[in-house]
Amino acid sequence: MEKKIIVRPFNRSKLVIWLTVAGLALLTVYGFLTFDYKDIDLGEATSSMAATVKSMFLEPHLKHITFVEAIKALSVTLGLAFLTTLFGAIIALMLGLLASRNLVPGPVVAVVRGISAFIRAVPTVLWVLIFAVAAGLGSVAAVIGMTFHSVSYLVKAYSASYEELDDGVIEALKASGANWWQIVFQAVLPSSVSYILSWTFIRFEINFAVAVAMGAAAGAGGIGFDMFMASNFYYDVREVGMFTYLILAFAILLEVFATRMKRKLRLNV
């Protein structure tokens, strides 16, 4: 017997959606038509952009530093991302337990989640600049500020993974006489290892990208500072292209490593 395809009629909600999309499209077109281009020739500007992109990605080279120095700068950025992720994961591992509704009372959860939400709402660069007032611009302020934001991010992620545990398991452990710490180490953490690893690697990738930016914004050094010098001080787009390729290569290696780690962990579990 053939099944009939039920098509929902055009209703008020669909009308609102279509009107919203049409309004945004009209505003976009109006913005492009009325924007002050300051007598810029769009054709010439597009051609210049294409030439810049070609020089950056098809003719990369290193002129002001050597390849070994570029790798050292990349390792500094990597170290900054690794430290901030490590410190953030260790602190968030415990705070995430305090933000889980199935493990602690509601008021404690509300306080921890409220504080972490406030910290997440402030961009990482602002936290770095805030701590730079006390510690001065450099790697110390970058590590503290990035760790501060990493903790708030991982608290939310870890607590969500802890809450995935079936309440029946917790009740069974309580009925058998297990205390809070035994429940955490025998049930909660083992069942959340794969989630914890996944979220930690995601945060590591974020911290690596932030560390590149902090190299210039906060004077933390690393490849981000070299990119800033190449793009703003002596304007060598070919060198910027080489730095971009190095960062991209590391990002790919990190993704491959993370995928293999998670695959091995699933097999062992």
Confidence tier at 10 by pLDDT (50, 70, 90): low
Show the domain range for 170: 66-268
Q: Is residue 157 part of a domain?
A: yes
The candidate with the shortest Cα–Cα distance to 269, out of 154, 192, 199, 171, is 192
Categorise residue 89: left if φ over 0, alpha if ψ from -120 to 50, beta otherwise: alpha
Given a contact cutoff of 8 angstroms between Cβ atoms, the answer to whether 80 and 142 are in contact is yes
Given a contact cutoff of 8 angstroms between Cβ atoms, the answer to whether 17 and 25 are in contact is no
Torsion from C-alpha of 195, 261, 209, 80, nearest 10 degrees? 100
Angle between helical axes of 237-268 and 42-58 (0-180°, round to 10)? 60
pTM: 0.78
The string of pLDDT tens digits covering residues 99-156 is 888 888 888 889 999 999 998 888 888 888 888 877 777 778 888 889 989 999 999 9
Q: Is residue 38 part of a domain?
A: no
Alpha-carbon span 160 to 185, nearest angstrom: 17
The string of pLDDT tens digits covering residues 11-68 is 777 888 899 999 999 999 988 888 777 777 777 888 888 888 888 888 888 888 888 9
The amino acid at 199:
W
Q: Is residue 203 part of a domain?
A: yes
Q: Is residue 19 part of a domain?
A: no
Instruction: Report the CATH number that the domain containing residue 196 is assigned in CATH.
Output: 1.10.3720.10
Q: Please, which residues have CB within 8 angstroms of residue 231's CB and are 6 or more apart in sequence?
A: 237, 240
Q: Is residue 14 part of a domain?
A: no
Given a contact cutoff of 8 angstroms between Cβ atoms, the answer to whether 227 and 240 are in contact is yes
Number of domains in the chain: 1
Q: Is residue 207 part of a domain?
A: yes
